Amino acid sequence: MTVVSLIADIDWDHIGLVSVAHIIHVLIGYSPELHHLQSELSALFRTKFAKHPLSLRKTEVQPLGTNDAREIETKGMIDALEDFDSQMGLGPEVARENITWTMLDHIVENHQGPATSSDPSTLSRSYNRTEFKIPSNVKNCDFYPTINSMTKVFEAQVLDCWRVHYSCSEIRKHMKKLKSKKRLPSLDELFLIGEVIYDKYFTQQSYERAINQQRHHSSPDNLKFLNGSPWTQHPIKSSPTTDNVVPNSSNDNHNIPELDAPTAYVEGDNFTRDHVLANSILFKSEFVLWLEMAYTIPEGDIGRAFEILKVRIIHFAGGSHPNYVLYLLDIYCLIWYESSQDLKNALLNNWLVNLTGELGKWIEGDLMQEYFNRWVEDMISKHGGSFNNPFYRSIISPNVCHFLHLKESIIAAYGLEQRSLTHTSAKLDAEMRNLLLLYKQEELHLFRIGRSLGHAAKNSFEAGYNVLDGGKLKEYLDRSRERVDLLSRVLPSQESSQPVSKGTLVPDPPLHIHTYFQPDSNADDGDELNIPNPIILSGSISHADSDDGSQQSSAPEDDDYKSSSDGSYHSNASNTSTEKLESWEDIEYVKQYSGSDDAIHVVGSDGELMLQYDMNSEKKGGEEESDGSDFEETQSDMELFEMEEAN
């Protein structure tokens, strides 16, 4: 896998097509004259644009019991996960991250701009214009308020693109005029226009044209930006600005939070780009992907969502979310390279849940869990108790979905649904008018040479490509290969029953063993390694449950081991429980041979056996588990054990 192959695997034609559909959807939603096209457009999302739609069904859900672990702390999170795993009878797994929320934070962080910015491409300028609340923490935004405000900004910018295309003063009035003349465009005609708008204002190529005057002039006529009025560079404002939208309007920067806002960007001399236009292109290109994800999840089309996740690998690599890059790469490799078709379908088909069995009601599993948690938290806050209380843990929590369904049924039966707390249509219409007027006055989507107002959004796709191509993807692949190679050489094969000759490492590790080693880089291959009281067992490792529930290693009845070259080792460690290592530094690296028995041993710094394998016995592998936590590999330059024949 390379960066080029990753990008080539993305269905760009599909992404372009659904992006055009969202561009048209904004226009249809804003123009009453086009509402009759809404059902036809929605049908296209479920038919022509579908990738892997899930069959409509009601998901059977079994909530787990609560616990009072403090998940905001590392230890508390581990304790909580171990408790949940124990309830399910499972070992530890990587938790699915909330990709949608992280995508939103990534966009806000890149496009909010200085809090007092006069740049119309920044979110902060638009928020101040409409009295939207500016997020005080761009790395962890309030989800729903941020969605509402960013969606409004996106829709206003899209409508301004339609206005520029039609060369009209106001798009809604223009549609009324077309209707009066019976010249309203059909859906097919809107798609033709939408493709031009997408190619001109949503793509990487359009961004390059905005920051390079030569590329702008050499582009095809239908993709050239219309030239705006000549731009005169003014000093970048560091104080609040006033737009004077309506008489007696309040200051644009009425709700500036106290935060460490991005510093103003300063251009070099004699630049010929339009950074304001370029910023707006990057915002729309990123947010339309988020919007597609937000639409495809309720529809239950996990194939469309997976296409967005592939693009997000590159965007996250160019941002400040390295852990999500690794997480998404793991998902991508698991589904695309490591799974059979049946396993791939099983993973995709169980990614989302539908608690009602109704169309448009699919949600992510983690969002469902947050919904359950909020209800239980509200109950505890009103009635007291703790999450470890047997009543909440054993009765309420496992049946939370049934209680919620009963509550919703009663509320619906008596017509007691909560009224919406969102803005009224009149308020929303006023906000939209303010934004449309702002973008029109500032000529946001016209090309103005030399325009820059202190904000330069990062092209995270280009930056992500450079990061991955510059070595990060290779590091990820090298680490993955080292894990596989190590396991295949050290651990026994499940398929082969033939003895393994001395010095030969075994391929094809069992899938259930996940133990990683980091050798001592200061030790030479020929050096004798110090083994503090190693436990040497004849035969394969087996696991047995102790009285307290922990696992133990079985030892031979005769625990005396005679070495023909190194003397005798004596151990009274029969049925000694082994424990996992806390960190790499706790591992002593062992190469041990004696007589006719060849064995691999991993021993902790306290002298306890962590892993042992007898090469000449029937090959079986095992892994002790005590606290449920996995080893974590921390270095990519892992070396392998080399086995040497004993003297």
Q: Could you read off the pLDDT of 252-295 as tens digits, one per residue? A: 544 544 444 455 666 666 678 899 999 999 999 999 999 999 89
Percentage, residues of the chain above pLDDT 90: 29
Higher pLDDT, 598 or 345: 345
Neighbours of 323 (CB within 10 A): 10
Is pLDDT above 70 for 317? yes
Helix, strand or coil for residue 560?
Answer: strand
Region class of 549: left (phi > 0), else alpha (psi between -120 and 50), else beta: left
The domains of the chain are located at 3-54+95-321+422-462, 492-614
Q: Is 611 helix (H, G, I), strand (E, B) or coil?
A: strand
Contact present, 588 and 604 (Cβ < 8 Å): yes
Angle 38-46/12-30 helices, nearest 10 degrees?
160
How do residues 445-482 score in pLDDT, each as one tens digit? 999 998 988 888 899 999 999 999 998 999 999 888 88
Query: pLDDT tier at 179 (50, 70, 90 boundaries)?
Result: very high
Comparing 144 with 259, the larger pLDDT belongs to: 144
Residue for token pair 């079986």: 620
Judged against a pLDDT cut of 90, whether residue 379 lies above it is answered with: no
Q: Which amino acid is at 4?
A: V
DSSP string, 444-492: TTSB-TT---S-----HHHHHHHHIIIIIHHHHHHHHHHHHHHHHHHSP
pLDDT digits (tens, 9 = 90+) for 43-57: 999 999 999 888 888
pLDDT band for position 443 (cuts 50, 70, 90): very high
Looking at the predicted structure, is the pLDDT value of residue 488 above 90? no
| Beta partners for residue 614, in sequence order | 599
Length of the chain: 647
Q: pLDDT band for 62, please (50, 70, 90 cuts).
A: low
> Is the pLDDT at 483 greater than 70, yes or no?
yes
Contact 615, 599 (CB under 8 A): yes
pLDDT above 60 (res 377): yes
Q: Report the range of poorest mean pLDDT among 11-20, 326-335, 414-423.
A: 414-423
**For residues 525 and 232, which has the higher predicted lDDT (pLDDT)?**
232
User: Residue 207: pLDDT above 70?
Assistant: yes
| Structure tokens given for 342 | 């049946």
pLDDT of residue 122: 92
Chain mean position to CA 550: 35
Count CB neighbours of 42 within 10 A. Answer: 16
Specify whether the CB–CB gap between 44 and 21 falls below 8 A: yes
Q: Which residue has the higher pLDDT, 535 or 176?
A: 176
Segment 576-609, tens digit of pLDDT: 333 443 443 444 433 333 333 444 444 444 555 5
- In this prediction, residue 425 carries a pLDDT of 58
* Helix segments in 89-221, DSSP class H: 99-111, 123-130, 143-166, 171-180, 187-201, 204-210, 213-218
Identify the pLDDT of residue 185.
95
CA torsion, ordered 530, 536, 542, 543, to nearest 10 deg: -60
* Highest mean pLDDT out of 340-349, 394-403, 635-644: 340-349
**Tens digit of each residue's pLDDT (9 = 90 or more) over 606-624:** 555 545 544 444 433 434 4
Burial class (CB in 10 A: 0-12, 13-18, 19+), 560: exposed
Highest mean pLDDT among 140-149, 198-207, 492-501: 198-207
Residue 249 pLDDT greater than 90, yes or no: no
CA-to-CA distance for 598 and 615, rounded, in angstroms? Answer: 5
Q: Is the pTM of this model over 0.85?
A: no
Note the pLDDT tens digit of each residue in 395-438.
777 777 777 777 778 877 877 776 654 555 556 688 899 999 99
**What is residue 187's predicted lDDT score, i.e. its pLDDT?**
95
What is the model's pLDDT at position 73? 67
Q: At what angle do helices 12-30 and 302-317 cross, to 10 degrees?
A: 100
Predicted confidence (pLDDT) at residue 643 exceeds the cutoff of 50: no
CA-to-CA distance for 210 and 121, rounded, in angstroms?
13
pLDDT of residue 368: 74
- Tell me the mean pLDDT in the region 130-135: 84
CB-neighbour burial class of residue 136 (10 A; exposed 0-12, middle 13-18, buried 19+): middle
